[in-house]
Amino acid sequence: MQIFTQTRGGETPRITFKDSILNPKANFGGLYTLSNFPPLPSLDSLLNLDYATLTETIFSHLGLELDGLEKALASYKNFDNPLDPAPISHLHDQFYLQELYHGPSRAFKDMALQPLGRLFSSFAKNDKYLLLTATSGDTGPATLESFKGMKNIFVICLYPAEGTSDVQRLQMSTQDASNLKVIPIIGNFDDAQHALKTLLQDNAFLSDLTKLGFKISASNSVNFGRIAFQIIYHIWGYLSLVRQNKISLGESIYTVIPSGNFGNALGAFYARLMNLPLHKIIIASNPNNILTDFIQSGIYDISSRKLLQTYSPAMDILKSSNIERVLFALFGSERTKEWMISLDQHKSYQLSQEELQKLKTYFDAGFCSDQECLECIKSLAQQGKIIDPHTANAYAVAQTLPKDSKILINSTAEWSKFSPTIFYALTGQKANDRQALNWISSNFHLPLHPQVQSLFDKQELCSSPIAPHTIASTILQWLNE
């Protein structure tokens, strides 16, 4: 069995996969991570495994516990095609999409959160848990969907009141299971994420929870359980291209990932560390292009940046949490700790030239303006393909890559989650979600998923947005009801 370490070093208690899922908060402010990603068994031997067996094989290869995994993976029956939860489609020429949005909340977060809910529940046994999550719009719905109705697991979901689409908001605010509480907060996603981190370090709050008999946990993208599931579909995507005779076994491809908190890209990075033939992992950003700057210059500097609202809100992030795990894997805990302290204190840190070169052997990066994003949506729509704005950012960046390799673009959300932006890209006019959904659905003959369809008939249960400093008391009041 593999033992976890902490990205910022220090004494590590013996943490297992199960511990890292139930209690994802590491000491010293760091993150739990595996120290070793051994090369994959031969690709040949993986080629014809079904999705569940592939997952079990890779987990076992990484030394992760398999207890409860089979049941967890059965959650892919909630996907459009349980046997192929992350299918490939051909866009045009060398461009392929890996569609990661076929789960119940129609965004890629389901890929990990659907199985994670069941795994969490089987690990938690009869203990009472309070699960805290902060969302920029897609983690929230996916978490609520996965944990709804679970006995003994209570979920708090914080989301920025300004910054989600109607569909995303409704997916949260209409959830009526009694173990779920959704809290809109004043501010943007960084504020929501910060509020969550503060709660996890608030001793008075934590001791009140203990008195009520709760253990505390988080389902955010720092939870290693999510990362583990997010390694799998990158391998699956590659193997699917081989099975469909688009590439030969062992041929290198580019993968392009619309990124925010770097959870999806981290899964690809770990797969690459295990020798999946990814030529480079291309990190696509929107105008909040901190990751582009970092990967191109080695300087991560948020001191003079303000978070911009864009057409791709799930990527509106400046402090990209999972970068820390990349730094650890490439440069070790000492350097990672220095940089993370510098980020806290000076809002910036810098790699040496040598370190930057090493980073660049794995990654390259680019970004897409809001205008280009709309243009990409429009140009693909003219070929009959509707993509969401996040995917459009990645498509735009993919256009800059050499033409001699196949390019697998991660499509992270179904169009239905961001239909007003697509409507605007196609018509130059504003519409609300409902109008835009209907228009796109009928013009492009795209059926609406029943989950999305039914949202507009449900009652919204949310209260008005609250300030971050009142979150703790709001939660305690709810638990005491």
Judged by the rule CB under 6 A, the positions of this chain that interact with ligand PLP are 107-109, 138, 221, 258-265, 314-315, 390, 412-413
Helix (H, G, I), strand (E, B) or coil at 474: helix
Please state, in angstroms and rounded to a whole number, the distance separating the CA atoms of residues 432 and 324: 38
- Output the six-digit token pair for 19: 């511990």
Contacts of 379 (CB under 8 A, 6+ apart): none
Comparison of 262 and 363: residue with beta carbon closer to ligand PLP: 262
Query: Is 309 or 474 the residue whose CB approaches ligand PLP more closely?
Result: 309
- State the minimum distance, in angstroms, from the CB of residue 241 to ligand PLP: 21
Nearest distance from C-beta of residue 289 to ligand PLP, angstroms = 13
Smallest distance from ligand PLP to CB 260, Å: 4
DSSP 73-116: HGGGGGSSSTT-SS-EEEEETTEEEEE---STTSBTHHHHHHHH
Q: Is the CB of 72 or the CB of 142 nearer to ligand PLP?
A: 142
Q: Which lies closer to ligand PLP via its Cβ, residue 154 or residue 367?
A: 367
Closer residue to ligand PLP (CB): 6 or 321: 321
Cα 432 from Cα 166, distance rounded (Å): 8
Q: How far apart are the C-alpha atoms of 167 and 109, rounded to whole Å?
A: 15
Strands 407-411 and 180-185: unpaired
* CB closer to ligand PLP, 56 vs 110: 110
Q: Least distance from C-beta 226 to ligand PLP, angstroms?
A: 9
Closest CB to ligand PLP among residues 129, 189: 189
Q: Residue 314: which of 142, 138, 144, 452 has the closest Cα?
A: 138
Longest CA span, the chain? 61
When the beta carbons of 242 and 318 are compared against ligand PLP, the nearer one is 318
Residue 379: both structure tokens together:
């140009």
Residue 33 Cβ, how far from ligand PLP at the closest point, in Å? 16
Name the minimum Å distance from CB 255 to ligand PLP.
13
Q: Report how far residue 319's alpha carbon sits from residue 316's, in angstroms, rounded to the nearest whole number.
A: 10
Take residue 460 and report the two structure tokens written for it.
Answer: 């919204």
To the nearest 10°, report the CA torsion of 456, 461, 464, 469: -130
Shortest CB 164 distance to ligand PLP, Å: 11
As measured in angstroms, the least distance from the Cβ of 282 to ligand PLP is 13
Instruction: Kindly report the backbone phi and psi dihedral angles of residue 433, in degrees, each rounded to the nearest multiple of 5, phi listed first.
Output: -55, -45
Closer residue to ligand PLP in complex, CB, 101/205: 101
Phi-psi region of 9 (alpha: psi -120 to 50; beta: other; left: phi over 0): left
Report the amino acid identity of residue 73. Answer: L
Smallest distance from ligand PLP to CB 10, Å: 26
**3-state SS, one letter per residue, for 300-330:** EECCCCCCCCCCCHHHCCCCCCCHHHHHHHH
User: Looking at beta carbons only, is 240 or 261 nearer to ligand PLP?
Assistant: 261
The answer for residues whose C-beta is within 8 angstroms of residue 48's C-beta and 6 or more apart is 243
* CA atoms of 310 and 316, how far apart (whole Å): 7
Minimum CB–partner distance for residue 292 and ligand PLP (Å): 13
> At closest approach, how far in Å is the CB of 364 from ligand PLP?
16
Q: Which is nearer to ligand PLP, 115 or 258 (CB)?
A: 258
The bridge status of strand 32-34 relative to strand 180-185 is: unpaired
Say how many C-beta atoms besides its own lie within 10 A of residue 356's C-beta: 16
In the complex, what is the shortest distance from the CB of residue 450 to ligand PLP, in angstroms, rounded to a whole number? Answer: 20
Virtual torsion, Cα 64, 67, 69, 72, nearest 10 deg? -130
81 neighbors 102 (Cβ within 8 angstroms): yes
Closer residue to ligand PLP in complex, CB, 175/412:
412
